[in-house]
Chain A
């Protein structure tokens, strides 16, 4: 079932001096099966936007529809929505609270009212999906490394078997290896389990490599909503929004300016390397 945002606006501290228009007339359709990236300068409303997807925030104006029903309706079960749309917050490890990892992952499915056996099965499956080291299933959550905690927290959401997985900057504060591992795992979830993924990210490279659709937020508005290749062809406009293009695209543009016949539309490292190789070969 697709998620539909229809002219959604959100204002913090409405009616006071510090009122902030965090979302301004945002309309989006999020069908099942896509891998979507959301980028935007800090404060552009990304975190606010994703909280509307599972009903943690309700729009001040406009509506959000799931399954054809308005999530602001009184008789709409937002608890059920939260099972279908799993949201992993920025620094999700700060939500861990149980005595051991396994018990913490069980929290979600238990809240969904599953039996003990179903809960434990779901938790095992989720921990396997995130490649959590098996010898640490019963370790205390406070003894884990940063990356392991992050995995445990993501498993905690996956255990509810959502159809949509929304991740708010899942790689923040991780080292390069940890980043790649988490991103690889998310990409695998999309490919193998067919999950719809919505990834909020600050990294143009990550977005260029993994997603099929990019939503660019700028001061609460949707500036672009297109394929990565199309979005990253607007280098100038992106710079104005405090964003950039992937390094590969930038290098290709620089080489082109110096007279090499490199394709300016490359966005990933591999494409850039291939295109530069081809250009050099043609020169010979």
Chain B
């Protein structure tokens, strides 16, 4: 159920990936995703796949945990594939009534699927190897330059870390309230959509009440400890780049430059295009 979503879940173990500075991982994910959308031929993807799996290996997280995150986007994945398959203009292979599958469509659908899968897997690794608190610290420091534009980065980071902290608590609470209502004969499964939505009222009302109560308690506790906004607040464990972070940055940039260069090199692209067309025509 809700528990299957990998994003936002931390996998406890000790690895190089876990020890890396969160800023490296965040920038890494961003660059990885950008790179994914720049490749024009399979060679780029092959380099990216090798890179991705090396990182997974380094992270010490079982592949099972990383692919679990894919379950959540199965629907989106299928829709994307179908849309691309049928709605890409080009030379038709099969025609079904008004729509047809084209050569270009097959290629496009496959590419999009690959991109989405790798995107989710790439971002899952970051959340699996970084504690939510560390992640917010990374975001706070990494986006610190936005303060110049009067963006309250510190406050936003605090809000994020509180929100992340509350996810498991609220999930547990939901579970408990659902059970309590089930014990009173509630039924969350049968009936049509309207009935199902209505059956959630007995869960949502107590859940909101409890969320507000907790928020009130927390605000009081923070005030009692003299919290007065994020500005000028120092850290117990400040983020400082270490040697391994510098090395990671170098590897990261090398990967991006090489894979994008290879992935967009017209000679290689032409070669693969040729191969693809010949394969389809036979």
Q: Which residues of A contact B (CB under 8 A)?
A: 51, 54, 56, 79, 82-83, 86-89, 92, 94-97, 107-108, 111-112, 142, 156-157, 160
Instruction: Collect the chain B residues with CB atoms within 8 Å of residue A79's CB.
Output: 185, 187
CA distance A157 to B181 in the complex (A): 10
Known A95-B177, A95-B206; contact A56-B183, beta-carbon cutoff 8 A: yes
The interface residues of chain A lying within 8 Å CB-to-CB of B224 are none
- B210–A94 CB distance below 8 A: yes
Residue numbers in A under 8 Å from B146 (CB-CB): none
Beta-carbon contact of A142 and B181 below 8 Å: no
The reply to whether B210 and A54 contact each other, CB–CB distance below 8 Å, is: no
> Which A residues are CB-close (under 8 A) to B181?
95, 107
Query: A108: which of B176, B177, B185, B210 is its contact (CB, 8 Å)?
Result: B185
- In the complex, are the beta carbons of A51 and B179 less than 8 A apart? yes
Choice from B173, B180, B187, B202 contacting A92 with Cβ under 8 Å: B180
In whole angstroms, what is the CA distance A130 to B182 when docked?
22
Tell whether, in the assembled complex, residue A108 and residue B179 are in contact, meaning their CB atoms are under 8 Å apart. Answer: no
Closest CB-CB distance, B2 to chain A, in whole Å?
A: 15
CB–CB B183/A89 < 8 A:
yes
B65 to chain A, nearest CB (A): 10
B interface majority secondary structure: helix
Contact B186 A87 (CB under 8 A): no
**A157 CB contact (under 8 Å) in B176, B184, B187:** B184
Q: Is the CB of B177 within 8 A of A160?
A: no
Knowing that A94-B177, A111-B185 are A-B contacts, what are 17 other residue pairs whose CB atoms are under 8 Å apart, sorted by A's residue number?
A51-B179, A54-B183, A56-B183, A82-B183, A83-B185, A88-B183, A89-B180, A92-B180, A94-B206, A95-B177, A95-B180, A95-B181, A95-B184, A95-B202, A97-B206, A107-B185, A111-B187
Please give, as numbers and ranges, the residues of chain A lying within 8 Å of B148 by CB-CB distance. Answer: none
The total of Cβ contacts below 8 Å across the A-B interface reads: 56
Q: How many residues of B contact A (CB 8 A)?
A: 18
A112 CA / B179 CA spacing, docked (Å): 16
A-B contact pairs, 11 of them (CB 8 A): A54-B183, A56-B179, A56-B183, A83-B185, A89-B183, A94-B176, A94-B206, A97-B202, A108-B184, A111-B185, A111-B186
Closest to A87 in B: B183
A56-B182, A79-B185, A82-B183 as given contacts; A142 in contact with B209, CB under 8 Å = yes
| B185 engages A89 (CB within 8 Å) | no
- Distance between Cα atoms of A107 and B202 in the complex (Å): 9
Q: Collect the chain A residues with CB atoms within 8 Å of residue B177's CB.
A: 94-95
* Cβ of B3 to closest chain A Cβ, rounded Å: 10
Q: Which of B140-184 contact A (CB under 8 A)?
A: 173, 176-177, 179-184
Counting CB contacts under 8 A, is B74 at the interface? no
Which of B179, B185, B186, B201 has the most chain A CB within a 10 Å cutoff? B185
In angstroms, Cα B183 to Cα A108, docked, is 9
Contacting B183 at CB < 8 Å: which of A94, A97, A142, A157?
A157
- Which residues in A have their C-beta under 8 angstroms from that of B239? none
Shortest Cβ distance from A229 into chain B, in angstroms?
A: 32
Contact at A97–B205, with CB atoms within 8 Å? yes
